[in-house]
Amino acid sequence: MNTNFVLVDANEDREEAARDFERYDLVEVGVVDESKRLVGVLTIDDIVDVIHEEADEDIKLLAGVGDEDISDTTIDTVRSRVPWLVVNLFTAVAVSYVIGMFDGTIEQMVALAVLMPIVASMGGNAGTQTMTVTVRAPAMRELDGRRLRRLITREMVVGLANGVIFAVLIGLVTRLRFGNYELGGVIGLAMVINLIVAGTAGILIPLALDKLKADPAIASAVFVTTITDTVGFFAFLGIAGLWFGLF
The pLDDT value recorded for residue 74 is 82
pLDDT digits (tens, 9 = 90+) for 124-169: 889 888 887 787 666 556 666 677 888 888 888 999 999 999 999 9
As a whole number, mean pLDDT of residues 201-213 equals: 83
The pLDDT value recorded for residue 152 is 84
pLDDT, the chain, mean: 83
Bigger pLDDT: 16 or 195? 195
Domain boundaries, the chain: 7-61, 95-244
Q: How far apart are CA 96 and CA 109, in angstroms?
A: 18
Please report which confidence band the pLDDT of residue 1 belongs to, taking 50, 70 and 90 as the band edges. confident
Bigger pLDDT: 85 or 190? 190
The pLDDT value recorded for residue 79 is 78
- Amino acid (1-letter code) at residue 195: L
pLDDT digits (tens, 9 = 90+) for 12-39: 888 788 888 878 888 888 999 988 899 9
The pLDDT value recorded for residue 209 is 80
Give yes or no for a contact between 42 and 8, defined as CB atoms under 8 angstroms apart: yes
Give yes or no for a contact between 15 and 55, defined as CB atoms under 8 angstroms apart: no
Q: How far apart are CA 135 and CA 132, in angstroms?
A: 6
Chain Cα centroid distance, residue 136 = 10
Report whether pLDDT(64) > 70.
no
Which CATH architecture fits 7-61? Roll (3.10)
Please report which confidence band the pLDDT of residue 191 belongs to, taking 50, 70 and 90 as the band edges. very high
pLDDT digits (tens, 9 = 90+) for 92-133: 888 888 888 888 888 878 888 889 889 988 998 898 888 877
Superfamily of domain 95-244: SLC41 divalent cation transporters, integral membrane domain (1.10.357.20)
Report whether pLDDT(53) > 80.
no
Query: Is the four-CA dihedral 215, 205, 66, 87 of positive or negative sign?
Result: positive
Q: How far apart are CA 99 and CA 103, in angstroms?
A: 7
pLDDT digits (tens, 9 = 90+) for 215-239: 676 667 788 888 999 999 999 999 9
Do 95-244 and 7-61 have the same topology in CATH?
A: no
Sorted by sequence, the CB contacts under 8 Å of residue 190 that are 6+ apart come out as 119, 232, 235, 236, 239
The pLDDT value recorded for residue 18 is 83
Percent of the chain at pLDDT above 90? 21
* Strand pairing category for 38-43 and 28-32: antiparallel
The pLDDT value recorded for residue 82 is 78
Nearest Cα to 27, choosing from 51, 55, 46?
Answer: 46
- Amino acid (1-letter code) at residue 9: D
Give yes or no for a contact between 41 and 29, defined as CB atoms under 8 angstroms apart: yes
Alpha-carbon distances of 212 from 82, 137, 205, rounded to whole Å? 23, 15, 11
* Predicted structure pTM score: 0.71
